[in-house]
Structure 1
Amino acid sequence: MMRISVFIYIVTNILLVQILASDNVQLNDFIQLSCLVGILTLGLAHGAIDDILYKKNNDSINKTDFILKYLVAILSYFGLWILVPNAALILFLLLSGYHFGQAQFAIYNFRSNKTNKLLNTSWGMMIILLLFYFNKELLLESASFFPAIPTSLSWMLLNSTSLLAISCIVFCSVILDKYFKKEIKGEAILFEIFLIGLTTFSFKLFDPFISFSLFFIIIHSIETLTHEFDYFKTSLGIKKLRNFIKSLIPFTVISVIGIGLILTMMSYFGYYNYLPFVILILISSITAPHSFIMNEFYSSELKSNSN
């Protein structure tokens, strides 16, 4: 059965092909704005209940202690950017890749072992590297134009073909291993290949911001929100969608305001050229603790399902 997020992804891509074919500047601007709104709502919302998910395996922690730990993690990653920016960028991409893959394969009852980590990381890195591969020239130009962008980004862009091939080989090897061990059916593998094909089509056709936004909002964020709502229904007894949405609002709003204030201050003081670098630091510093919490959440869900 096709996931609702994939169906929405297909329909949205088809509609955008028709809309963008008109070369209407106003429509293009509207789509760009819609993508930004989607990231600031659904994108941020899927990480807005990290405190509740963390409590699943840490009953004794209160919200204040959680927020303090979260802030320490964010500041620590910020410090990593100051000390070793190239390593900070590569680690961010690897964490993102692993997180994307883990959310994608959460519905499969794989046995918990090291190959799961390889599968998750290789799948997620394929997505990221496909984006790099189809937008190599544009992203290289941007990386050279904006100051402070780590040189490791240019290296990954220049070597995106080789890195993509390695990710594909690792993914195929692990998924076939799981197929022969009867952990995944052939139909499920074909579905995952179909989804990668759809993503490839989207990344090739649209500009990097629109195409990645579609993946991040629909395939990743909506899928993750679905997993979180399922947890609310089965473990917390919160079965109404509106109550689930209410729980997402506080930290989503706080995140939007915080990011907005930082970017406004940057613009006010005239640091426009540093905006991409600051946005990269903000996203990666939030991604680090979020990915670890989601890893703990998905790992505990896997153990519960296998019992």
Structure 2
Amino acid sequence: MSDVPLSLRSPNVYALVVACTLLTAALSFWGALSLGSVAFVILMVVVALTGIPHGAVDHVVAADLYGLTSSWSDQAKFYGVYLALMAAYGVLWLISPVVSLGLFLVLTMYHFGQADLAYWNVPSPWHPLLYASRGLLLLGLPIVAFPEVVDPIFAAIADVQVSDWPGVTTASTLLLGGLVAQHALSLGLLSQVGTASGKDVGRELFNTAVLAVLLITAHPLVGFAVYFGLWHSLGHMMEILRFFQRHGRTATFGYFYRKAALFTLISFIGLGGLYLINEAFGAQDQMIALLFILISVLTLPHMLVVEAMYQRERPETAPAAG
């Protein structure tokens, strides 16, 4: 076996992820995963198993990136900045939920796109366009396909009604097609300025079709859970293992979960509390809203650590034509 850790593009891993995605889409199409309670449980389980752990080793990644030691001063620097960013975003949610929701959507589009397509090595200033295009596909499809499901969640988060957005209810088919088309076009155009091969372009066009089928047919929470758990979080965990290997660390899932154990356990306790509250009061939309707010607060510092990690390998200018 190779000493290089797996990635989401490793044949066996990729085949399993695609198979699970298409199976979920098929079951959803036939109504087997349409119940809200089932969707909520799936979301909670996926967030617990891969979603939370994939960001629970930021302290280890930051230590390698910035040369931090285990000294009290270095640890205080990292956790001080990390917690301050979370606190600032939490305060922003209290002050302006609408602005906070908008910021979360923008950050999420970039972050999801980066995790999926950073391997293309698209140089500045083009890479944000590629990432945003992927993120727009991932967030836009379930919103347009299921506004009646997203409405109560966004209303609980920030009193926002997505069904009032232009075209969501009056031209949904056109919007869905446009979301898929804009990403396919972005893949074709921006592959010319990066290191993507023809095989990479073909794979990502296929991924676009697979994810579109999932997000248009599955309950939004189920679709989000499958993408977030298998495509984003699992893929990111394997990229972190490759990062660990480059920095002389052990590149195994066992090592990863040991390093993520403390913060994952804390998150498990929080998720368990949310589940018990939901069971006791039945306020599912409010609990989902709170879960997404907590994810958003964690996303900001996590995204900055991930951005720093990818900056180490991204070319700064477009390659010369030749």
Q: Name the TM-score class by shorter chain.
A: 0.7 to 0.9
2:61 is matched with which residue: 35, 43, 53?
53
Matched to 2:149, the amino acid is: L
SS at match of 1:114: coil
Q: Confirm or deny: 8 A CA contact 2:44 2:271 kept in the other structure.
A: no
Q: 1:210: which partner in 2?
A: 222
- 2-side partners of 1:14 and 1:291: how far apart? 28
Q: For the structure 1 residues 198 and 252, does the alpha-carbon distance in structure 2 shift closer, same or farther, using more than 3 Å as the test? A: same
Query: 1:9 corresponds to which residue?
Result: 17
Letter in 2 for 1:280: F
- Match of residue 238 from structure 2: 226
Q: Residue 236 of structure 1: CA displacement?
A: 2.8
Which one of the candidate residues 150, 159, 166 is aligned to 1:139? 150
Separation in structure 2 between the aligned mates of residue 239 and residue 264 of structure 1, nearest angstrom: 36
Stretch moving more, 277-286 or 224-233: 277-286
Which residue identity does 2:230 align to in structure 1? I
Which position in structure 1 is the counterpart of 2:126? 115
Q: CA deviation at 1:228?
A: 0.2
In the alignment, which residue of structure 1 is the partner of 2:6?
none
Q: Which amino acid aligns with 1:138?
A: V
Offset of 1:47 from its aligned partner? 0.2
2:159 aligned partner: 150
Asked if 2 retains the 8 angstrom alpha-carbon contact of 1:48 and 1:251, the reply is yes
Q: Alpha carbons of 1:7 and 1:28: their partners in 2 closer, same or farther (altered >3 Å)?
A: farther
> What is the aligned partner in structure 1 of residue 260 from structure 2?
248
Distance 1:191 1:226, change over 3 A: same
CA-based RMSD: 3.5
Runs of at least 5 residues in structure 1 that lack an aligned partner in the other structure: none
Give aligned-pair identity as a percent.
Answer: 22
**2:79 matched to 1:67?**
yes
User: Structure 1 residues 65 and 152 mapped into 2: Cα distance closer, same or farther (>3 Å)?
Assistant: farther
The alignment partner of 2:312 has SS state of helix
Could you tell me which of 287, 293, 301 is aligned with 1:275?
287
For residue 163 of structure 1, report the CA deviation from its aligned partner. 7.0
Corresponding position of 2:139 = 128
Cα deviation for residue 75 of structure 1 reads 1.1
Q: Which amino acid aligns with 2:17?
A: Y
Provide Cα deviations, 1:227-286, integer angstroms capped at 9, x if missing partner. 001111221331343222211212111122234446657887997763333223211111
Rounded Cα–Cα distance in structure 1 between residues aligned with 2:190 and 2:312: 20
1:44·1:255 contact (CA, 8 Å) conserved in 2?
yes
Q: Secondary structure at the match of 1:184?
A: coil
CA distance in 2, matches of 1:32, 1:281: 16
The one-letter code sitting in structure 1 at the alignment partner of 2:147 is K
TM-score normalised according to structure 2 size: 0.79
Q: Which has the higher helix share?
A: 1
TM-aligned CA deviation for residue 139 of structure 1 = 1.9
Q: Name the CA shift for 1:278/1:32 in 2 (closer, same or farther; >3 Å).
A: closer
Q: What's the offset of the Cα at 1:204?
A: 2.5
Alignment TM-score, normalising by the size of structure 1: 0.82
Q: Deviations over 1:78-128 (max 9, x none)?
A: 1111222111101101111101110111222333x0110111111111111
* Residues 102, 120 of structure 1: 8 Å contact kept: yes
2:113/2:135 contact within 8 Å kept: yes
- 1:44/1:232 Cα in 2 relative to 1: closer, same or farther (>3 Å)? same
Query: 1:35 Cα deviation (Å)?
Result: 4.3
The whole-number CA distance in structure 2 between the counterparts of 1:103 and 1:45 is 15
Q: Give, in whole Å, the separation in 2 of the partners of 1:32 and 1:266.
A: 10
- Partner of residue 206 from structure 2, selected from 194, 202, 208: 194
Question: What is the count of residue pairs matched by the alignment?
Answer: 302
Q: Please say if residues 245 and 251 of structure 2, whose CA atoms lie closer than 8 Å, have aligned partners that are also in contact.
A: yes
Segment of structure 1 superposing worse, 151-160 or 76-85: 151-160
Bigger drift between 50-59 and 15-24 goes to 15-24
3-state DSSP of counterpart to 2:306:
helix
- 1:199-241, CA deviations, whole angstroms, 9 ceiling, x for partnerless residues? 1111222211112111111111111001001111221331343
Which position in structure 2 is the counterpart of 1:105?
A: 117
Q: Contact 1:123–1:167 at 8 Å: present in 2 too?
A: no
The answer on whether the counterparts of 2:113 and 2:134 sit within 8 Å (CA) in structure 1 is: yes
Partners of 1:84 and 1:23 lie apart in 2 by 37
Q: 1:298 to 1:129 in 2, by over 3 A?
A: same
